[in-house]
Amino acid sequence: MPHEKFDVSKLDRLNDESRFEYLDPAVLWQAAGVPDAETIVDVGAGTGVFARRFAEFAPTADVYAADTSQVMVRWMIEHQPAEPCDRVHPVQASETSVPLGTGEADLVVMINVHHELADPRESYREALRLLRIGGGLLIADWRPGDTTQGPSQECRASAEQIIEVLEIVGFDQIALHPDLPHHSLITARKPAVCGL
């Protein structure tokens, strides 16, 4: 399936909090269903705008804001305010490898990332590795057919296509939530019986 990377020259768009009108962090946090998360990994964090919100929702959690772009990681390091960002840790990663231990995360978050993935199976397999048993995965990505903004239609995946990949990789308790106007919102869990 085609994929489309975010243009880092448009980095300021990621900090536009008008995005929260259709990607409400409180809705995302509630859907995630991990209120006591101590370790959160935001994969494809961009400028860390959602990572910072999750750090506010989970006041004792460490939040790892992982991105493949050196520009994004450098921006996060240079621009983070002190609070709550003493608990937000920018991390350089690849699409299929985040430099954190196996089973370390209570929650992995992937917001507007699926359409950028060259190999979704391997990226979600890495998310599965990062999670502890019973840990949660949260995915929000642009629905096909929605033309308000976002990536090209060719690189968008339906909720059913994303769910199929999650099932193949080994996630369970997969749920589709109807809470966002332009995005598919999907959650899943790492099962007790898992090869990762």
* pLDDT 10s digits, 96-115: 999 999 999 999 999 999 99
The answer to whether 91 and 43 have CB atoms below 8 angstroms apart is: no
Q: Render pLDDT for 151-178 as a digit per residue (tens, 0 to 9).
A: 889 889 999 999 999 999 999 999 999 8
Confidence class for position 12, pLDDT limits 50, 70, 90: low
Confidence class for position 17, pLDDT limits 50, 70, 90: confident
Domain residue limits, the chain: 31-106+114-132+161-173
List, edge to edge, every strand of the sheet that includes 131-142. 88-92, 62-67, 39-43, 105-111, 131-142, 183-189, 172-177
At 3, give phi and psi (nearest 5°): -135, 160
d(C-alpha 55, C-alpha 63), whole Å? 6
d(C-alpha 120, C-alpha 31), whole Å? 22
CATH C-level class of 31-106+114-132+161-173: alpha beta
Which pLDDT score is estimated for 3?
A: 44
Which pLDDT score is estimated for 13?
A: 64
The DSSP H or E segment spanning 155 is none
